[in-house]
Structure 1
Amino acid sequence: MALTGLSRCTYALWLAVVLDVVGLVTLLVGIFGNMQRGGRDYGDMLIYTGAIVVFASLIGWVFWYTGNIEISWEELASDYRPRDTKLHRIVRKISRSISMRNGDGRAAKAGTIRDISPHPKRGDRGHQEERGSKAEEPQRVSAMD
């Protein structure tokens, strides 16, 4: 019976195993070996180096483990389908309100994009002067008149 879990991400697995072996050997040599040369003790350096190499092997183990996680297409599709929950609606509303703001923090007017277009539509050529000015308010008519 073949182990299918070991067949994928073999480089990450070998990286993790080699770093573990090198780190453990370095650590043990630093602990039990008499590493003095020229009156200096190098045992502490080997202990720290071995610990760092063993810690670095965690990268290979994490890559190997995550590379071997199996998930079906149906389960993947059910996890990433668009949801319409209350939280999603709130986030969408906040996102839209932020994206409708100008760079100075003020809310953009509804017609801002149309007003700054460089090419006016046909029929608008006579009204270019009025774009920047305020439109006149309509006269109010009361029911008594």
Structure 2
Amino acid sequence: MDYTAYIGRCLLFFFLAVFLDAAGLILFFVGVFAPLSFWDFFVFSGPLVIFLSLVFWIFWYLGNLEVPMEELLPK
């Protein structure tokens, strides 16, 4: 099965972005639901990790753009 038809060419950036999204979500929910004395560290670091995953989502998107050859040639 060819995964590039579904995910695209930049698999590393895709999996890094998904991993950071999942890690940020887990950190956030640990901070919200766990009875910890330092819950604020998890509540603030979770969304920060999710925000940093946007860098990898942008790299993944830019790596999957396709430009026709006619637009690359000078006129």
TM-score, normalised via structure 1 length: 0.47
1:46-85 aligned within 5 A: 46-77=42-73, 81=74
User: Which 5+ residue runs of structure 2 have no aligned equivalent?
Assistant: none
In structure 2, the partner of 1:31 is: 32
Tell me how far 1:5 sits from its aligned partner: 5.1
Aligned residues between the structures: 74
Tell me how far 1:42 sits from its aligned partner: 1.0
Q: Considering fraction of residues, name the structure with more helix.
A: 2
SS, match of residue 31 in structure 2 = helix
d(CA) in 2 for partners of 1:31, 1:43: 7
d(CA) in 1 for partners of 2:8, 2:49: 25
What is the CA RMSD across the aligned residues, in angstroms? 1.7
In structure 2, the partner of 1:45 is: 41
Q: Would you identify which runs of 4 or more consecutive aligned residues in structure 1 move more than 6 Å?
A: none
d(CA) in 2 for partners of 1:11, 1:61: 11
d(CA) in 2 for partners of 1:5, 1:66: 16
Q: Any idea what the Cα deviations from partners look like across 1:76-122, whole Å, max 9, x if unmatched?
A: 22xxx26xxxxxxxxxxxxxxxxxxxxxxxxxxxxxxxxxxxxxxxx
d(CA) in 1 for partners of 2:69, 2:57: 25
| % same residue | 39
TM-score, normalised via structure 2 length: 0.87
